[in-house]
Amino acid sequence: MRPLTQTEAGRVSGVIEPGGTYAFLGVPYAAPMTEARRFEAPAPVEPWAGVRVCDRPGPVCPQLPTYGPVGTAAASQMPQGLDFLSLNIRTPTLFGRVPVLVWIHGGGYAVGSANEPVLQSGAFAASGVVEVTVNYRLGALGFLSLPGRPENRGLLDQIAALDWVQRNIAAFGGDPAQVTFAGRSAGGFAVAAVMAMPAARGLFARAMPQSGASAALAMPEDAAKLTHRMAAALGTDAARIARAPLQALIAAQRELCNESYERHDAARDGRAAMLGVPFVPVIDGASLPDHPEAMAARARRRRCR
């Protein structure tokens, strides 16, 4: 008997894993990416009829093979495609109200996925926690600054996932009032950045950035330099980058990532140069109003008055 539950968009079925954990894998939290929407904000999931079978992870974000020590070969060898805005959910119960952990994978904002074997153990679910791992846009798709396109798309994906959790996790036995938002390495950087984004307010109760802080961020002028480098690698201009074929984007992305890893250059890459990570969130003054450290300092001062 497959476990079955109801989300806002429709019914989903999963599998029962060894030890009795209920697993719902490849559950969509946003509409699929398309060629036309690759650089747009995430859109809501379209409802479906019948039961959607969620018994295996979905595709991962198109990405380059590993560069330097960043990422694992496992992710780049998994099936890739544009229908990757999905979650893997493991829960000890479908009828309780247990704490929830939403986990963001690392990989230098350029590689990795929620489907990697290390994230499939179900250890948290076995300890009485609903665990949710998130696939989101990486590299140029998620973090390249483009004219007329929303900034920080990879973080907007994560916020869309958190919003989905708030509206649906009770159907998986989770308590939306007890959501911890956590991640490791670039996932930790992402958590620190999302904490400072107005769109994320009220979507989680606690945050736990691990092996990552708020250093991997770009100022608009640094983001513009990366866009110029990307255009040069593609042999085009910034206004036409969004039309480039996906594989050309990935090849150019690999070139820029290798350059940044092999030779750290603060004049070229800005603050993120010390990490060798070129594709990072940008402090755009809107989706991310200011540096998280500055916002945290102001919040501390307000509490002390």
Q: What is the pLDDT of residues 211-268, one digit of tens each?
A: 876 668 999 999 999 999 999 999 999 999 999 999 999 999 989 988 888 887 777 7
Token pair recorded at residue 264? 């750290």
pLDDT of residue 291: 82
Q: How confident is the model at residue 301 (pLDDT cuts 50, 70, 90)?
A: very low
Token pair recorded at residue 147? 């004219």
CATH top-level class for 4-210? alpha beta
Q: Answer whether residue 302 shows pLDDT above 50.
A: no
Q: Are strands 11-13 and 4-6 parallel, antiparallel or unpaired?
A: antiparallel
Q: Which residues pair with 133 in a beta bridge?
A: 88, 103
Write down the residue that tokens 């007890």 correspond to.
178
Q: How confident is the model at residue 297 (pLDDT cuts 50, 70, 90)?
A: low
Q: Which long-range contacts (CB under 8 A, 24 or more apart) does 14-21 make?
A: 14/54, 14/55, 14/89, 15/55, 17/90, 17/122, 19/122, 19/126, 20/92, 21/90, 21/91, 21/92, 21/122, 21/125, 21/126
Backbone angles phi, psi at 178, to 5 degrees: -125, 50
Angstrom distances, CA of residue 93 to CA of 118, 122, 175, 236:
22, 13, 11, 52
Q: Answer whether residue 271 shows pLDDT above 80.
A: no
Cα distance between residue 135 and residue 39, in whole Å: 16
Q: How confident is the model at residue 118 (pLDDT cuts 50, 70, 90)?
A: confident
Domain residue extents for the chain: 4-210
Kindly compute the dihedral angle of the four CA atoms of residues 249, 190, 75, 120, in this order, to the nearest 10 degrees: -160
Q: Are strands 51-53 and 11-13 parallel, antiparallel or unpaired?
A: parallel
Q: How confident is the model at residue 188 (pLDDT cuts 50, 70, 90)?
A: very high
Cα distance between residue 265 and residue 110, in whole Å: 19
Percent of the chain with pLDDT over 90: 71
The model's pTM is 0.93
Closest C-alpha to 229, from 218, 177, 298, 68:
218
Cα distance between residue 32 and residue 21, in whole Å: 27
Local structure of residue 14 (DSSP, 8 states): -
